[in-house]
Amino acid sequence: MKKINLVAGGPSYLLPELGDYHDSHSTWVGIDKGAVYLLEQGIIPHIAFGDFDSVTIEEKLFLDNHSVKLTTFQAEKDATDTELALSWAIKQNPNLIRIFGATGGRLDHLLANLHIMKRFYNKNIQIKLIDRYNQAEVFLPDCYKVDKKEEYKYISFIPISEEVSGITLTGFKYPLNNCHIQLGSTLCISNELIHAQGTFSFTSGILLMIRSKD
């Protein structure tokens, strides 16, 4: 499985141990200060994108000393650094894209990153946003299996289109059958699996699934 891992410049304390996601099939990409975070965790990025306005002179030398390939953009542009990096990653045709360092800190960046996941949805490429406490993924109408993970006890389903129709949850503590939920609904927040595996399905709309731990 071909994987591309993007590391953005959000608060470093929300990053998981990136080495846990490192294997021979992974390509690592830094986004602005995220390139520094990668080096600090002992991973040399394949490439780094950004205007690097949040990188200090010392950190820039740190990147140069490790021969990190920097793709630099002007600060004044029509797309965020994360959007540019994700666009590049999609063109590499991976099976999986993981985005780290994209939560916490500025709320506008978090909301933008969630909507970028929605806009770049591709049925052939799984895109996950991951931090120390959460995993988020966007889904289009279909039926999906979800496995129980003790470290991610809570599962929430959040509509990110005007309406999600026909949502059905099986194997959950709070099941649903052919339910319709509107944008802004909190009906499907903090659910839990009661079996080793459950399913969720829906017939129209766009759904964000977030798996969380305390």
Task: For 190, list phi and psi in degrees, rounded to 5.
Answer: 55, 50
124 shares a domain with 52: yes
CATH number at 193 reads: 3.40.50.10240
54, 52, 122, 112: which is closest to 83 by C-alpha?
112
17 shares a domain with 108: yes
* Pairing mode of beta strands 126-130, 26-31: unpaired
Contact 139, 206 (CB under 8 A): yes
Cα–Cα distance between 103 and 100 in angstroms, integer? 8
- Please give the pLDDT value at position 72: 76
SS3 at position 91: helix
- Please give the pLDDT value at position 56: 85
Domain count, the chain: 2
* Owning domain of residue 21: 3-132
172 shares a domain with 79: no
Cα–Cα distance between 54 and 1 in angstroms, integer? 33
Of 132, 153, 183, the one marking the end of a domain is 132
How does pLDDT run along the chain (214 residues), one tens digit per residue? 899 999 999 999 999 999 999 988 899 999 999 999 999 999 999 999 988 888 888 888 888 888 788 887 776 777 888 999 999 999 999 999 999 999 988 888 888 999 899 888 888 899 999 999 999 999 999 999 999 998 999 999 999 999 999 999 999 999 999 999 999 999 999 999 999 999 999 999 999 999 999 8
Measured in whole angstroms, how far is the alpha carbon of residue 6 from the centre of its chain?
A: 9
pTM confidence score: 0.90
Task: Tokens for 24, please give them.
Answer: 């021979």
107 shares a domain with 22: yes
143 shares a domain with 128: no
- Please give the pLDDT value at position 68: 80
- Helices 81-91 and 107-119: crossing angle in degrees, nearest 10, is 20
- Please give the pLDDT value at position 102: 93
112 shares a domain with 178: no
Question: Angle at the Cα of 111 (from 13 to 154), degrees rounded to 5?
Answer: 65
Cα–Cα distance between 70 and 93 in angstroms, integer? 21
- Please give the pLDDT value at position 79: 82
